[in-house]
Structure 1
């Protein structure tokens, strides 16, 4: 997902006043957030909640690390940690909602 959304267009746009924006456009980030929700939903609805949460989080974290590790300032790790925390939180919440909805609000095993 990382290569399909933010991974391929990483140039900074120079504005007429000389300022720069980027390297990602809003639609790239939105796509990266929304599209992985389909496999998370699929896995959570089949009771693979841990795999949905940990797999998505690990995949996005490793991809962010690989993509940003050439930053000489070392600040890329702040971004990587934020990607990890954000993807862990979102996938955990989505997986919990899907699991509860698919089970009719019943605890697992009942």
Structure 2
């Protein structure tokens, strides 16, 4: 639920392409919007991961972003939006898997350092 809301907040309102003086177009999103979306997604991914739900962090985020991209781009008459949605799916799966693995590793190292080793008397 968080991923589609974040998509709407960061990307949903910007639907126009920017036309430059030389006639080229960019957009509709600016880099800062996509970076904001990615950084926003780190909070729920972290939350789910430290609560030992890494699969939910990966699949929930990826499914939410994929659904939001599909909804946002499905009015494209060329049909090429499917390629973009596929790339969002692959990219979000890859990025959230890497983030989840990193968070898990750091969290385990921190919690292991806080507990006395089993069998040791302190």
TM-based fold match above 0.5 = yes
Matched with 2:33 is: 28
Matches of 2:59 and 2:51, distance apart in 1: 15
Residue aligning to 1:60: 65
Give, in angstroms, the shift of residue 34 of structure 1: 1.3
C-alpha distance in structure 1 between counterparts of 2:109 and 2:53, whole Å: 17
1:45 shift after superposition: 1.0
Q: For 2:106 and 2:25, how far apart are their aligned partners in 1?
A: 44
Shift of the alpha carbon at 1:13? 1.4
Corresponding residue for 1:49? Answer: 54
- Quick check: which has more Rg, 1 or 2? 2
Instruction: Find the counterpart in structure 1 of residue 90 from structure 2.
Output: 85
1:71 aligns with 2:92: no
Report how far residue 18 of structure 1 moved: 2.1
Q: CA deviation at 1:19?
A: 2.0
How far apart are the structure 2 equivalents of 1:20 and 1:29?
18
Consecutive unaligned residues of structure 2, counting only runs of 5 or more, are 1-5, 113-122
Cα shift at 1:4: 0.5
Could you tell me which runs of 5 or more consecutive residues in structure 1 were left unpaired when the two chains were aligned: none
The corresponding residue for 2:105 is 100
Q: Once superposed, which parts of structure 1, at least 4 consecutive aligned residues long, lie more than 4 Å away?
A: none
TM-score by length of 1: 0.90
What's the CA shift for 1:47?
A: 0.6
2:72 and 2:92 map into 1 onto residues whose CA distance is 16
